[in-house]
Structures are given as structure tokens and as C-alpha cells.
């Protein structure tokens, strides 16, 4: 079997084209979606991610504003900025790039972002929404994985899904989103013994750990769908995921490459959440206007 290599750039482009149209439709009603991006410190990976996010906003017509702080900035300064951004009507999404320096209490930062502007989906309300099945903003990376599966026509209902990695940003929300779509979900993590006994059962295997070559061909079922969320830089500078891509592509039915698989989708779903936030606000305003006219 030779796998279909899923092109995340292509899937992203289709979604971004739709977003551009929605942004244009809002512009006709005088609204430009706005995203505020906050970065603290000089983590090189964060700098690249933030640059990509800001550039992508420009591509679909979202107005982005970037706030960069030195690593030694006080938490209160950042909380004050978030409080201010929460009140601004031209801001529809607020994102604080993680990780933050050690003197920050990340939970305090994330819980201060208004639920209606939490386009990363990290606020406890949105996390709770994932559990109860009514989230406001799905977190971007797992949301991107679901969109890839939908785009490829891969059925989720009733499938055995194994998620390797139990982070708050990817693994846990991924598992909840797929469970919501009636998959049978198993989560593996750093303490899982004999990983292969679980991964071999997967119809859909999602791997988000950060270890090159963690998943080898003998650990997957023939014909499985493999979604590789890992991004690892090898000593020779090459970017790879968490799976043995060359080995797996002759055994599975679908696989995402690294780079060019899930990565572009994460940024695209951030744009999608920001556009959805602006549309929701417009909808709420229109409904309020109608109610006040009727009364």
C-alpha cells in the first residue's frame, strides 16, 4: 500500500480562500476582524510562530496588532494589557504566545482573556465547552486535524482513534473533539507502557509528542490514517515529525508530512476562529438592534 500524503498547505489554502470571502462580506458591513498577538521574551520558536500568524492575518484581511514584551516584564503589565484589549470593540481575538517566562502564572493569564475573544481556545470555559460538547472556540491544532480528516473524507464515527501525547494544547482537546464525533478514543502519554500495543489498534493515529521516529511501521495497522503533529529539528537542521515517515508511507492509507501537514492548519484555524468571533459579534449586534427596534 502507498499512502496518500495529505497536503496541509492545500487544505489550508481552501479554508483561507473561504475566510477571505467572509472577511470581504464583513467589510461591506464596516467590520474588520482584529487579532491581538502578545509575545513575551525572545524564544526563537515563538518568534517564528508569531511572525507566521501575523503574516497569515494579512493574507486574509484580518487586522493584527502585535505586542512584544521583554522577558522580565511583570505579569501585571500583561494582565493590564489583556484587560484593555478585552474592552476594545475592534479586537475580536487575543492570543498570548506560549511558553511564558517562569515568573508568569499561565492559568491567570489565560483566564483573564475574555471568553468571547479566546481564539486559542485555552480559557477554562472553552476547555469545559469541549468536555460538554458546546465549545466557543476549538483549540487551533486539534481543530486543524479535524478539518484535515473532514477534507479527506475520512470518517471518524465509530473509528478506533489513538492519540499519543496528552498535552493541554493538543492531545487532551484532540481526544475530546474526536470523542464528541463518536470515535472510540484512547490517549497514550509519557508513562504509557508498551505504546505499540495501543497504536497497533488505531484506525486513526494522532501523534503529538515531540520525539523523532517514535512511531515505527511495525507499530501501526496496515491502512491506518496517521496524523503527525510533531515538529522536531534534527542536528543536521532537517525538520521532521514524530513518525518514521518513509517507513510508514508504504503501510498506511493516509499520512501527513512534516513540514507541510498539520503545521499550516494550526495558523489557518486561528484565522478561522478570529473571523468566526467577528461574525458572532456582528450577529449579536444585529439581533440587539432588531430587538430594540421591535420593542
- Can you give the binding site for ligand GUN, defined by CB under 6 A? 95-98, 120, 140-141, 169, 266
Q: Based on CB atoms, which residue is closest to ligand GUN, 137 or 245?
A: 137
Q: Is 84 a catalytic residue?
A: no
Q: Is 97 a catalytic residue?
A: yes
Contacts of 257 (CB under 8 A, 6+ apart): 5, 6, 7, 8, 228, 241, 245
Which is the catalytic residue, given 120, 203, 228, 244? 120
Which is the catalytic residue, given 97, 117, 180, 228? 97
Q: Closest distance between ligand GUN and the C-beta of residue 3, in Å?
A: 26
User: CA-to-CA distance for 158 and 42, rounded, in angstroms?
Assistant: 44
Q: Closest distance between ligand GUN and the C-beta of residue 215, in Å?
A: 21
Q: Based on CB atoms, which residue is closest to ligand GUN, 25 or 45?
A: 45
Q: Based on CB atoms, which residue is closest to ligand GUN, 100 or 240?
A: 100
Q: Closest distance between ligand GUN and the C-beta of residue 45, in Å?
A: 8
CA Rg, the chain, in Å? Answer: 20
223, 193, 192, 231: which is closest to 205 by C-alpha? 223
Q: Based on CB atoms, which residue is closest to ligand GUN, 57 or 169?
A: 169
Which of 218-223's residues contact partners 24+ apart within 8 Å by CB, and which partners? 219/195, 220/248, 220/251, 220/252, 222/1, 222/251, 222/252, 223/1, 223/252, 223/253
Q: Based on CB atoms, which residue is closest to ligand GUN, 199 or 274?
A: 274
Q: Closest distance between ligand GUN and the C-beta of residue 126, in Å?
A: 13
Contacts of 184 (CB under 8 A, 6+ apart): 158, 159, 160, 161
Contacts of 61 (CB under 8 A, 6+ apart): 20, 23, 24, 27, 32, 33
Helices (H), 155-244: 171-180, 195-199
96, 146, 99: which is closest to 265 by C-alpha? 146
Contacts of 167 (CB under 8 A, 6+ apart): 208
Q: Based on CB atoms, which residue is closest to ligand GUN, 228 or 244?
A: 228
Q: Is 120 a catalytic residue?
A: yes
Q: Closest distance between ligand GUN and the C-beta of residue 266, in Å?
A: 6
Nearest position to ligand GUN, beta carbon: 98
User: DSSP state, 243?
Assistant: B
Q: Closest distance between ligand GUN and the C-beta of residue 169, in Å?
A: 5
Q: Which residues pair with 94 in a beta bridge?
A: 36
Catalytic residues: 53, 97, 120
Amino acid at each position: 500500500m502507498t499512502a496518500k500524503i495529505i497536503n496541509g498547505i492545500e487544505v489550508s489554502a481552501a479554508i483561507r480562500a473561504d475566510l477571505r470571502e467572509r472577511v470581504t462580506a464583513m467589510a461591506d458591513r464596516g467590520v474588520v476582524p482584529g487579532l491581538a498577538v502578545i509575545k513575551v521574551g525572545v524564544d526563537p520558536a515563538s518568534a517564528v510562530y508569531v511572525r507566521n500568524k501575523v503574516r497569515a492575518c494579512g493574507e486574509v484581511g484580518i487586522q493584527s496588532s502585535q505586542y512584544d514584551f521583554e522577558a522580565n516584564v511583570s505579569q501585571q503589565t500583561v494582565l493590564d494589557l489583556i484587560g484593555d484589549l478585552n474592552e476594545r470593540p475592534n479586537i475580536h481575538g487575543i492570543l498570548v504566545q506560549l511558553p511564558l517566562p517562569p515568573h508568569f502564572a499561565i492559568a491567570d493569564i489565560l483566564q483573564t482573556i475574555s471568553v468571547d475573544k479566546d481564539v486559542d481556545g485555552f480559557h477554562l470555559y472553552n476547555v469545559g465547552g469541549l468536555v460538554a460538547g458546546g465549545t466557543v472556540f476549538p483549540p487551533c491544532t486539534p481543530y486543524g486535524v479535524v478539518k484535515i480528516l473532514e477534507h479527506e473524507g475520512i470518517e471518524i464515527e465509530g473509528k478506533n482513534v489513538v492519540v499519543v501525547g496528552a498535552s493541554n494544547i493538543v492531545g487532551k482537546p484532540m481526544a475530546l473533539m474526536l470523542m464528541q464525533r463518536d470515535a472510540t478514543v484512547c490517549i497514550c502519554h509519557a508513562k504509557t507502557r508498551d505504546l505499540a500495543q495501543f497504536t497497533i489498534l488505531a484506525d486513526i493515529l494522532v501523534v503529538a509528542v515531540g520525539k523523532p521516529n517514535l512511531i515505527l511501521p511495525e507499530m501501526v495497522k496496515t491502512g491506518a490514517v496517521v496524523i503527525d503533529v510533531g515538529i522536531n529539528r534534527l542536528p543536521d537542521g532537517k525538520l521532521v515529525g514524530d513518525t518514521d515517515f518513509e517507513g510508514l508511507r508504504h503501510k498506511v492509507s493516509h499520512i501527513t508530512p512534516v513540514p507541510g501537514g498539520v503545521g499550516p492548519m494550526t495558523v489557518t484555524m486561528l484565522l478561522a476562529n478570529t473571523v468566526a468571533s467577528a461574525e458572532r459579534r456582528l450577529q449579536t449586534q444585529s439581533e440587539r438592534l432588531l430587538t430594540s427596534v421591535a420593542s
